[in-house]
Structure 1
Amino acid sequence: MNKTGRGRLLFIAHKGAKQLWGDDEEMRRSIQEIHTGHRSCTAMDDKVLTRWCWKLKEMGADIYVPDPAPRGGQDLTKPTTRQLAQIEQLAFERGWEDGLNDGRLRGFIKRTAGVDDVTFASRKQATDIISGLRRWKKQEESK
């Protein structure tokens, strides 16, 4: 996407957010971070920014998004379903009852991959999280 198109997407994202949350910048940033992993629109790449615009439209914003709606399917940069299941299983084995939503797992993910939630991790980061949890388990078993 060219710079003009990106500027237009940024404008659309802010316009949609203003329609939904008014001038509550903190609310926008919090909800945006939940859905995209970024508190700032400028930190998003064009693909994520387009998805965010479509999400705003889905939430009720009256905006026109020039790019086509994202199609379903697994994003190749995101963790696979199998990776998420492995992470959740390893969390349960540690006694973290809330699985992927457990605060202790989220802390481990933040320290290991630098993201707040495993859904914002890349496949490589998910592999690092799985490896780290397995190493931790093996260390505790050897004690």
Structure 2
Amino acid sequence: MNRNAYYGLIHKGAQTLLGLNQMLKAEADETYRNWLYEKTRKRSCKECTDWQLRALKDELERKGALPKRAATAQQSRPAPSQPKCTRAPTERQYKKLIAVVKSKGWSGLGSEYLKGFIRRTTGVESVYQLDRRQMSNVITGLEKWHAS
């Protein structure tokens, strides 16, 4: 993530956390800069190191001022030269996966066995991060494993 993205996320999170939208502009600016100074000993994000920017963003996420998905979505966006694979698995694929997982006697989509299989098969950490193709590969792999 580039520095400008961090600036925007930190400012947006601080607005939510500190209620800057309900203040007069001068008061909001002073409040924001005082908060920033308490956290980093800097009066502006532009003076902060990359580490400080990441730490501020992480703190705002922990406090609920920034949604974690919105913050990480910008971070994991593929570069323009990479092919985009944004096709999410279908409901039918999820139902099929649940059926296969249950037939193996596992506890469901949160099963540690399933997470391990997904990690080994696709390199992805969670069933909810799979795209359609990866989901198909996981289902096929589990069915073949179950048949043997």
Q: Is residue 2:93 matched to residue 1:83?
A: yes
TM-score for both structures, normalised by structure 2: 0.52
Q: How many residue pairs get matched?
A: 100
Q: Residue type matched to 2:58 in 1? A: E
Residue 94 in structure 1 maps to residue 104 in structure 2: yes
Deviation at 1:134, TM superposition (A): 0.5
> How has the CA–CA distance of structure 1 residues 23 and 116 changed in structure 2, closer, same or farther, with 3 Å as cutoff?
same
Higher-Rg structure is 2
Q: Which structure 2 residues correspond to residues 120-139 of structure 1 after superposition, within 5 A?
A: 120-139=129-148
2:145 alignment partner AA: W
Query: Normalising to structure 1: TM-score of the pair?
Result: 0.54
**Runs of 5+ unmatched residues, structure 2:** 18-54, 80-85
Q: 2:77 aligns with which of 40, 44, 48?
A: 44
Is 2:116 the partner of 1:107? yes
**Measured at CA, do residues 44 and 92 of structure 1 come closer, stay the same or move farther in structure 2, by a change above 3 Å?**
same
Secondary structure of the structure 2 residue equivalent to 1:100: coil
**Once the 2 structures are TM-superposed, how far is the Cα of residue 102 of structure 1 from its aligned partner?**
1.1
**Alignment CA distance shift 1:90-1:120 (3 Å):** same
Extract unaligned runs of 5+ from structure 1.
Answer: 1-5, 47-75
Please tell me the residue identity of whatever aligns with 2:97. Answer: I
Of all paired residues, the percent bearing the same amino acid is 26
SS at match of 2:87: coil
